[in-house]
Amino acid sequence: MIRKILMTAAAAALAVLMVPSLVAARGQASSLDSAKAKDFIGNWVLTMEGRRGPQERPLAITDKGGKVAAELSGGRGGPVTISDISMNGADLVLKWNQQGPQGEMGVVMTLTLSNGTLAVKQDMAGGRFSQTGTGKKKG
């Protein structure tokens, strides 16, 4: 009887832990129409200048039901699903929150497309920290 209760509790705990992972794996789309950002759709490799030199981060920008969705990989803490996506003129703007040593901070990444290459600017903590880089489409 006790064994059955423990097994049920363990299964319930595992299910609770898996739900956020399943939601993140599905990703969420933004309210931005994919047609407006069609040139950005695809798999990119961003090369960002960091404190330890250049760092590559994969960025997948996808169409989910006619809306833009994105997932940024390669950083600490695993992939980041981004659903706050908008256009500022011809630039694609991605916004999310990430956990840092001093707590959660907002991140704004602006992507400017020119001749098939991205210019990347990433502002963190309201612009107190910035990084720049480039992006190339995979394949």
Spell out the per-residue pLDDT of the chain, length 139, in tens: 565 443 443 333 333 333 333 333 345 779 999 999 999 999 999 999 888 889 999 999 999 999 999 999 987 778 999 999 999 999 999 999 988 777 889 999 999 999 999 999 999 988 888 999 999 999 7
At residue 73's C-alpha, the angle toward residues 68 and 78, to 5°, is 120
Q: How far is CA 51 from CA 88, 109, 113, in A?
A: 28, 18, 25
Enter the pTM of the model. 0.76
User: What's the CATH superfamily of 28-137?
Assistant: Calycin beta-barrel core domain (2.40.128.20)
Q: Phi-psi bin for 10: left (phi > 0), alpha (psi -120 to 50), beta?
A: alpha
CA distance 80 to 39: 21
- And the tokens for 85? 């996506």
Residue boundaries of the structural domains of the chain: 28-137
Q: Which of 101, 30, 112, 100 is nearest to 67 (CA)?
A: 30
